Amino acid sequence: MNVLAVTEQRDGALRKTSHEVVWAARLLADAMGGTVDALVLGAPGMDAAGAKLGEAGADRVLVAEDASFVKYAPCGYAATAAAVAKTGGYGVVLVAATAGGRDLAPRIAARLDAPLATDATGVSFADGKVTASRPVYAGRAIQQLRFDAPVAVISLRPNTFAPGSAGKAGTVSKVAAVTAARVVVREVKAAEPGKLDVAEASVVVSGGRGLKGPEHFALIENLARAFGSAAVGASRAVVDAGWRPHAEQVGQTGKTVSPQLYVAVGISGAIQHLAGMRTAKVIVAINKDKDAPIFQVADYGIVGDLFEIVPRLTEEIARARAG
Amino acid sequence: MKIAVCIKRVPDTETRIRIAGDGASIDETGVKFIINPYDEFAVEEALQRRDKAGGGEVVVIALGPDAGQETIRSVLAMGADRGVLLKAERIPADALAVAKALAAELKDGGYDLVLFGKMAADDYHHGVGPMVAELLDLPCVTAISKLELEGGKGVAEREIEGGVEVVEFALPAVLTAEKGLNTPRYPALKGIMAAKKKPIEIKPAALGEARAIVTSLSLPPDRKAGRIVGEGPDAVPELVRLLRTEAKVL
Ligand SMILES: Cc1cc2nc3c(=O)[nH]c(=O)nc-3n(C[C@H](O)[C@H](O)[C@H](O)COP(=O)(O)OP(=O)(O)OC[C@H]3O[C@@H](n4cnc5c(N)ncnc54)[C@H](O)[C@@H]3O)c2cc1C
Ligand SMILES: Nc1ncnc2c1ncn2[C@@H]1O[C@H](COP(=O)(O)O)[C@@H](O)[C@H]1O
């Protein structure tokens, strides 16, 4: 059985999750004895960017171009992906569980009459069946979901599947774009240009009520900057207080993040906050209360006043990275 | 304006999860159930839209066991007009199976809007709403945090990584609600009394065979016991050393 990896671009550039999805497709296809096709959806001129997906693990890169595909086009993307998915003997369609992918995956599944698993953190193949493992109950349990269907759609949690390199190029060909425009993305209002999103960053530095006021988030921003490219996150307490935008909220009613490193500063570690970050690879906590629940999930903790610790940490991280 | 809201009964998000004897579901003894938090935003939006339109009907639909009647009743207390329980012994883990049964109920309802939560806090599919839309061939915008309706047209906003998408669509449409869309009301005593007299229709859910099957449910692996590196700023150099040499994240 073959695997179709549906990739995602923003402003013509493939997103990091696309590489994760293509390599996950590679590993799964190898287990199933099949091949990997990567689908690129975008405005005309995507071939060059698409060609890189061969190296990233695809045997064939299929490019569907249309002027209306410059931004996310829910109906057109879904119709095109479903049309392609019906052709190539695919047993699995993989998508990244980004904001776009979460919208797209169920649409493709419905069009293919295929069962769906979203936000998978693992995919396996045994005894002729595909199984996805995925966190449920806000991360408090792990579900194994097995498919009994000829084709299944699975979305993969960002930052969880490593990208890889095939050491070869794939072929690139065009496929027909199916357009439909019943829902149109008229505009994308960008947050601050160049600002990294918590859901995608490999380092996230988050602040909570321990910061005492919005003005002190400069401490968090400086620490994030010291790491190079880190995103700033926040607990719900500070988002509800209006100190930080909702886009930065990590947790059950905010974003789910799986960075390489998560630094929680002045955050107590309520269960709803943990729901959003417990799959981070390494967790660091800074809190003045040695009994704060965050220390139960933290790999490394420092007990003490964040106003003393964070400036020192910012300095030391900057020095370590420079040296 | 005729609006349907699909709601799911889920375990309270504070519930401690215990795995049942079958190894594939949770032990529900002592578990408190609530309406899925995202569905409250959908309900509130429906009520406001109906009232703004100066009339119409808000119909609450839930698929699941008998106990779902309680959840429907709580939404009737908020102000919805009537309820439908699509009865099923348990809610399947196959989102498409649920979507098909809901779509069958919604199909000839003549709804201007069909509202969902963006995801269920238990199964996390983010799937049923957009699947229903595809099955009914209706326009759909997911995870909206802002909505404007004017005539037969709508504009919604949805948060994406690093920005906000502004999306246009025409009615009838399917929308799924994100936190921030509105502030859900609490039922007033008067509403609770009135809800007792509102009708709930109960019929079997048209569930096909589930093709996504939970083979096991387990507690997440405990994170390896962490350690307190030290107290105060003097612990910082040791932390940085560990991040570099042991965790290898620098
Ligand atoms: C349905 C529901 C959904 C929710 N969803 C979310 C969600 O998505 N995300 C989320 O984060 N929360 C969520 N919550 C809220 C959650 O329960 C907590 O209330 C919230 O996470 C607390 O935020 P906090 O840790 O910043 O604040 P607090 O719990 O007040 O913790 C502040 C911490 O700062 C420490 N501190 C204070 N001063 C200092 C100092 N000078 N130096 C060092 N440490 C200091 C304190 O010891 C304390 O541990 C949700 C709640 C509900 C009911
Ligand atoms: N059993 C159900 N009955 C009614 N509505 C449901 C049911 N399951 C899911 N939904 C709706 O679909 C939304 C998304 O759920 P899910 O796709 O399961 O994450 C929920 O917020 C509900 O609005």
The interface predicted TM-score of the complex, written ipTM, equals 0.94
Q: How far apart are CA B42 and CA B129, in angstroms?
A: 11
Q: What does the pLDDT average to over A235-244?
A: 97
Task: Please state at what angle helix A99-112 crosses helix B128-136, rounded to 10 degrees.
Answer: 50
Q: How far apart are CA A9 and CA A19, in angstroms?
A: 11
The Cα angle at residue A274 between residues B127 and A193, in degrees rounded to 5: 70
Ligand that comes closest to the CA of residue A270: 1
Q: Confidence class of residue B4 from pLDDT cuts 50, 70 and 90?
A: very high
- Measure A258 CA to nearest chain B CA, in Å: 14
Nearest to A300 by CA among B16, B14, B250, B17: B250
Q: Which pLDDT does position A190 carry in this prediction? A: 85
Interface check for B145 against chain A (CB to CB < 8 A): the answer is yes
Nearest to A189 by CA among B167, B133, B97, B76: B167
Q: Which pLDDT does position A195 carry in this prediction? A: 78
Give distance in angstroms: CA of B131 to centre of ligand 2.
Answer: 10
Q: How far apart are CA B169 and CA A265, in angstroms?
A: 41
- Measure A222 CA to nearest chain B CA, in Å: 16
Contact across the interface for A110 and B214, Cβ inside 8 Å? no
Q: Which pLDDT does position B226 carry in this prediction? A: 85
Q: Which pLDDT does position B224 carry in this prediction? A: 79
- B65-88 pLDDT, tens digit per residue, is 999 999 999 999 999 999 999 999
**In this structure, are strands A141-147 and A129-136 parallel, antiparallel, or unpaired?**
antiparallel
Q: What does the pLDDT average to over B122-151?
A: 97
One-letter identity of residue B125? H
Ligand 2, CB within 6 Å, residue ranges: B 6-8, 36, 38-39, 61-64, 91, 95, 98, 102, 116-117, 119-120, 123-129
Residues with Cβ within 8 Å of B241's Cβ and at least 6 positions away in sequence, in order, are none
Residue A143 pLDDT greater than 90, yes or no: yes
- B28-64 pLDDT, tens digit per residue, is 999 999 999 999 999 999 999 999 999 999 999 999 9
Token pair recorded at residue B182: 């509105």
Give distance in angstroms: CA of A209 to centre of ligand 1.
Answer: 6
Residue B162 pLDDT greater than 90, yes or no: no
Q: How far apart are CA B111 and CA B172, in angstroms?
A: 7
Q: How far apart are CA A34 and CA A91, in angstroms?
A: 9
Nearest to A158 by CA among B245, B222, B130, B160: B160
Going through chain B in order, the beta strands assigned E by DSSP cover 2-6, 9-11, 33-35, 57-64, 82-87, 113-117, 140-150, 153-160, 163-170, 173-177, 200-204, 212-218, 227-231
Residue A221 pLDDT greater than 80, yes or no: yes
Q: Confidence class of residue A312 from pLDDT cuts 50, 70 and 90?
A: very high
- B90-120 pLDDT, tens digit per residue, is 999 999 999 999 999 999 999 999 999 999 9
Q: Confidence class of residue A57 from pLDDT cuts 50, 70 and 90?
A: very high
Convert A49-68 into a string of H (helix), E (strand) and C (coil): HHHHHHHCCCCEEEEEECHH
Domain architecture of chain A: domains with CATH: 3-174 (3.40.50.620), 203-321 (3.40.50.1220)
Residue B14 pLDDT greater than 90, yes or no: no
Percent of chain A with pLDDT over 70: 100
Q: What does the pLDDT average to over B7-30?
A: 94
Domain architecture of chain B: domains with CATH: 2-204 (3.40.50.620)
Report the mean per-residue pLDDT for chain A.
95
CB-ligand 1 contact for A233 (6 Å cutoff): no
Chain B residue nearest residue A82, CA to CA: B134
Q: Which pLDDT does position A42 carry in this prediction? A: 97
Q: Which pLDDT does position A229 carry in this prediction? A: 84
Q: Which pLDDT does position B133 carry in this prediction? A: 98
Pick the residue whose CA is nearest to atom 14 on ligand 2. B119
Contact across the interface for A110 and B130, Cβ inside 8 Å? yes
Residue B162: phi, psi to the nearest 5? 70, 20
